[in-house]
Every structure is written in C-alpha cells, then in structure tokens.
Structure 1
Amino acid sequence: MVFEYIPNGNLQEKLHERNNEVLPWKTRTVIAYQLAQAIEYLHEKCTLQIIHGDIKASNILLDERFNCKLCDFGSAKMGFSSTVMPPSCSRTTKQVMIGSPGYTDPHYLRTGLASKKNDVYSLGIIILELVTGMEAFCPERGQLLTSIMAPNLKAISEVGTAVEVAELVDPRLGGEFDLDEAKAMVSIAGLCLHQSPTVRPSASQIMQIMKEKMGSIDLLLSPAKDGRHK
C-alpha cells in the first residue's frame, strides 16, 4: 500500500505535545473548517453516505501546509441504514461500540444508535480542543474535556463577556487570537455537543456558520483542499 507522506504528523501531536511549536490561531480555525468540510463530504456528497465513527485528534493528519486530512476508516459505516441497533433489539446481533474515550457521543453510548450526529459531536470536541488547547480525555486525571467545559459552555457561547471567552482560549497562544472568532468557535462547539442529536447542526450548516462569523476562513483556505485523506 502506498500513502501520501504527511510531514506534520497528526493533530494530537501538534496540539498537545509540549515540545512542539504552538499551533497559531489561524491554523486552528482552518483545521476546524476543513474537518467540517471532510465530514460534509462523507455525510452528504458520497454516493453511499458514510459515518466515520472515530473522529479524534490522532486521526487528523496534517500536511506540509497544515491542511488536515481525516484518516482511519476502520470504524466507518456506509449507507443509511448504517444504524446500529441496541442490544435489546436483537438477541443474535452483537453490538460493536465505536469511537474513542472523550470523543464518543453519549447518546450513542446510551442507545447504541449510530448516526451522522455522532460525528458532529466528535467535531465539537475537536473544536473545543483547538480553542482551549486541552485534551479530550486526560487519562492521568481521569477527566473529560466536556466535564470541565460543559457547565459554562452554553452560557459563555450565548452571552459570554470578552473576558469569559478569552479565559477559555489556550494560554499558550499568548493572546494572539481573534476574540470574535473564538466566541464563534465556542458557540459552534456548544451546538455540536447538544444532548439531543436532532438539535445538532449538519456539517454543511457548521461550515456556513463559520463563513458568516469567521470572515477570514475563505482567505486562509488553500484551493482544492477538502480535508479528506486520499
């Protein structure tokens, strides 16, 4: 098998390993947009729509220009009905859990029903990681990023002050970020992480919100890059 060489490794390494240079804010916003674009392709533009099922920072590869490429489709489900029925619905079918700690949709964990909105939930986690610089799950402390952020996420995304929003942003950026874009990113993350999957936006809706509220996105995107790993 022949794969494209990806010189910048994956997002987990670049964002969370302390010996790496800090990812600039603009790079983070483009990664968020390109990931939404990749998910939109899977969900809406493939002939047989695809649920990726394991979107996480280590499955987001970064090329020489930090364009992101979504990889590892080992948990993917194709077509809809690609719904996974709960164990109670079938005595003969063994349920296979998909996802990774910190990224898996709680609604899926409760019901066993896989849907596009599972991927949208994982996208929300990635966006929170990009904003805060914190990991989705810290095994040493046994803490989920959502358990740290959830109590204040909705309030801050809706009516948060500049100070409250700024306090969420990765301190390693040293204040080098756009406050309005940070608030938009937090707001989008809040929508993606809504407890009810039906309330969560689609990937295309997320891209539209980003274009409307983060005007620099179009200028920063490289042509013909859609975030898929070919």
Structure 2
Amino acid sequence: MVSSWLRCFKLGCRKSTSTVGPDRNKGKDGVAEGEGFIRKFRWEEIEVVTNDFSRVIGRGGFSNVYLANLSGSQGAVKIHAGSYRLNQVFRQELDILLRLRHDNIVKLLGYCDDLDEGAMVFEYVPNGNLQEKLHDSELLPWKTRIAIAFQLAQAVEYLHEKCSLQIVHGDIKPSNVLLDECFNCKLCDFGSAKMGFSSTVKPPSCSKQVMVGSPGYTDPHYLRTGLASKKNDVYSLGVIMLELVTGMKAFCPVREQLLTSIVAPCLRDIDEHGAAEKVAALVDPRLCGEFDLEEARALLLIAALCLHQSLTVRPSASQIIKNIKEKINSMDLQGKDSLPIATI
C-alpha cells in the first residue's frame, strides 16, 4: 500500500505560526477532520529548516527546491523567484495545492508568503523522478511501469473528476512525476495548472502568451487553439504510457522526431490478429523479454486512444482506469479501490 500521509510536524512552536485547513469537499480522497492542516511559516523559519538554503535538490525555470529538516523528518522547500508575475503564479499554484489530498499527488505541508519570494514546503519524495529512473539510471521492471501508469491515471482522475473545482494540470511529464522509496508516483509542479475552467488561455500566437506544457508532451490541439481542457492532460498521460512501454524519450534527438511520430504508424496495427511481433518490437529492449505481451498491447492501445486527434475519442481518466483494470490482470486490480504497490 502507498505510504500514509506524513504526520503533521512541529517546529519551534511559535505563537505567530498558523494553520490552514484543507478543502473539505474532496470526496473519498479528502482527509479527516483534524488531519492534514497546512502550516503557515515565517520566513525566518524557512531559513532555519533549509539551513540557509544550503542544499539544492531541484531547479526549475523560475524556482529552486531545497532540502529541509522538519524536526527529524525531511521535507522539500520550493522557492519562487520574486516578481509581480511570478508572485501571481505562486498564488495560483498555492490556491490549487491547498485543495488537494491524494496519495499520488505530492503533499503540501506548509507555505510562506511573507516576502516576494514565495515558499512552499512539501513532503520529501526520496527516489527522484520518473524521467531519471526511466531514461537515465536503473531499469524499471515491467510491473513497476504498469503500477506507475495506473497511479498516475488515478491522480489525473482525482484532479479532473473528484475535486470540488476541477483542475487541469497542464504540464504532465516524467520529470514532474516523483517516486517514493517504493516507486509509487507523486505528481508535482502545479505552476501551469488551471482550476474550475474560469479562464481561457489565449492562443499561442499572442506574443506575450507564456506556453503551458513541455515539448513532446503538449497536446497538438492546445498548440493549435490555445484552449486548455482535461483532454490536454489525457494526451500527456498517453505520451508517458508510450515511454513506459517503449523506454524511449518523448523526443528522440538521434532521429530528431517526437516519440508519437515514431510509434504512430505501428500503433495502427497492434490490435490485429497475429500482431504479437509488432507489439514485442515496441517494448523496451532493455527488459529482455521480461514483460507480458497482452499487457503491453493493452497499454499501447490505451495510449493510442489518449493521443487521438479528436478530443471526443480520447478517454476520460476514469475510463483509462477502467480499461487498465479490465485488461491488465497481473496487478490484481479488479474490484479494488486501493492503489497498487509499485515495487522494484
């Protein structure tokens, strides 16, 4: 079972420190009363827990992440660069994170908004991210890949269908999928997320528009229209499923092609009778045959639907989960609401 929530921590217990309760209307993934409160830090406390920002563990375009010591347990502190526009991004991301509670979404423990440089304190997820583990380091076993695909789909389903205000993440990619000590996934980085569909993104042709998403994972429909929707996330999820099966990156620098372009011709034939060799040819050769052929076929077919040009053909996150439960038996998922364990 996925690790339970980190216990609420205490730091110096200053009277000026306050807590903010999480959103109470989150369905089955909401926390019970009295649990999961978000702590409001003072900037001096942020400096103390990070040891004056001494150890960087992650970098983004407009933020750095530092290792933190939270009274005996580790945490991660994300510091946003200070500017009016980036402060707006920080506020938007914080507003969304305050509403979220799901095993496969990185947990917000606290925040600080005393200065222009906003700070968010997260649980520490010790095993790096999916980009590193799938492409740059050790070999992920087949069952671990299936579990990650399922867990990530559950995180997307929660955002799209189980939050009081539905959320589009907007930047789902392997580097935003953290892995814990058991290789369970934690979706992170909600800086591009949109909540409640209250606003529409301007088309990319606008000169001042900042693009949402990342090359290789961004929905072509969004690139054409600039309109954000849940199906943008479904597309990105489909790309990650292709990566999990093939072991290839979303963009192949050798061929100078997108993975979707390389694999697309092959996906058209894999559901035909006698297509076993075509399916096997798409699976990551580093697995050396240690995978289930029918599971690979099922995941590739689900990915193909996620990547379909027509938004209406693309499945919802709940439909993706249903398909995985029906077609992938080795995880023994049928009839279970609990998450599978991703072990290695």
> How far off its partner does 1:102 sit?
0.4
Structure 2: runs of 5 or more not aligned:
1-76, 78-120
Check the 8 A contact 1:35/1:70 in 2, yes or no: yes
1:64 is aligned to 181
Question: Percent same amino acid at aligned positions?
Answer: 75
1:44 is aligned to 161
Alpha-carbon separation, structure 2, partners of 1:13 and 1:99: 19
Q: What CA deviation, in whole Å up to 9, does each residue of 1:152-178 have, x standing for no partner?
A: 212224556111101100000000000
Alpha-carbon separation, structure 1, partners of 2:274 and 2:215: 29
Structure of greater relative contact order (alpha carbons < 8 Å, 6+ residues apart): 1
Alpha-carbon separation, structure 2, partners of 1:133 and 1:30: 15
Pairwise CA RMSD: 2.4
> How far off its partner does 1:143 sit?
1.7
> How far off its partner does 1:26 sit?
0.1
Q: Secondary structure at the match of 1:150?
A: helix
Shift in alpha-carbon separation, 1:75–1:158, aligned structure 2, 3 A:
farther
2:134 is aligned to 15
For normalisation by structure 1, the TM-score amounts to: 0.88
Alpha-carbon separation, structure 2, partners of 1:58 and 1:158: 34
The one-letter code matched in structure 2 to 1:10 is N
User: 89, 92, 97: which is aligned to 2:211?
Assistant: 97
2:220 is aligned to 106
> How far off its partner does 1:21 sit?
2.0
Q: What CA deviation, in whole Å up to 9, does each residue of 1:97-150 have, x standing for no partner?
A: 211010000010011111000000000000000000000013454221011011
Check the 8 A contact 1:154/1:187 in 2, yes or no: no
Alpha-carbon separation, structure 2, partners of 1:176 and 1:210: 19
> How far off its partner does 1:96 sit?
3.2
Check the 8 A contact 1:131/1:182 in 2, yes or no: yes
Alpha-carbon separation, structure 1, partners of 2:178 and 2:132: 10
User: 193, 209, 215: which is aligned to 1:76?
Assistant: 193
Q: What CA deviation, in whole Å up to 9, does each residue of 1:7-42 have, x standing for no partner?
A: 21000000001xx22100000000000000000000
Shift in alpha-carbon separation, 1:156–1:83, aligned structure 2, 3 A:
farther
Check the 8 A contact 1:15/1:133 in 2, yes or no: yes
Structure (1 or 2) with the larger CA radius of gyration: 2
1:123 is aligned to 237
Higher helix fraction (1 or 2): 1
User: 164, 171, 175: which is aligned to 2:289?
Assistant: 175
Shift in alpha-carbon separation, 1:26–1:116, aligned structure 2, 3 A:
same
Check the 8 A contact 1:83/1:115 in 2, yes or no: no
Check the 8 A contact 2:269/2:275 in 1, yes or no: no
1:138 is aligned to 252
- Larger mean CA deviation between 73-82 and 185-194 belongs to 73-82
For normalisation by structure 2, the TM-score amounts to: 0.60
Alpha-carbon separation, structure 2, partners of 1:94 and 1:159: 50
User: 105, 124, 138: which is aligned to 1:5?
Assistant: 124
Alpha-carbon separation, structure 2, partners of 1:12 and 1:70: 12
Structure 1: runs of 5 or more not aligned:
none
The one-letter code matched in structure 1 to 2:277 is V
Alpha-carbon separation, structure 2, partners of 1:207 and 1:6: 24
Higher strand fraction (1 or 2): 2
Check the 8 A contact 2:147/2:340 in 1, yes or no: no
Alpha-carbon separation, structure 2, partners of 1:165 and 1:174: 14
Alpha-carbon separation, structure 2, partners of 1:217 and 1:103: 27
Aligned length, in residue pairs: 221
- Larger mean CA deviation between 79-88 and 188-197 belongs to 79-88
Alpha-carbon separation, structure 2, partners of 1:202 and 1:187: 14
2:327 is aligned to 213
1:53 is aligned to 170
